[in-house]
Amino acid sequence: MNLKEQTAAFLAEKRIAVVGVSRNSSTGTGNGILRALRDKGYEVFPVNPEATRLEGVACYPDVGSIPGGVGAVIIVTRPETAEAVMR
């Protein structure tokens, strides 16, 4: 599968978690990604262990806590945090 096909497969998922959404919505890259996906009709789930609501929706402490699971995950964190998320 080439990159274009991989991207299409990823974007075909309708439930996407965004790990690393910030409590400060004006500066967070993850926040912008979350808003853009939501505006495109995706069901998005912010993940931040220090928040219960972000960008007007429920926030989860980890990907495994999202009811019903997700089809894709976008990780917007420091490398050492990203490694822990992938485990």
| CATH assignment of the domain containing 54 | 3.40.50.720
The yes-or-no verdict on residue 28 having pLDDT over 90 is no
What's the total number of domains in the chain? 1
Beta bridge partners of 15: 43
Say how far apart CA 67 and CA 12 lie, in whole Å: 20
Reading the block at residue 2, the tokens are 């080439």
pLDDT, mean of residues 22-30: 79
Band of pLDDT at residue 81, cut at 50, 70 and 90: confident
- Determine the structural domain holding residue 69 and report its residue range: 3-86
* pLDDT for position 45: 97
- pLDDT tier at 78 (50, 70, 90 boundaries)? confident
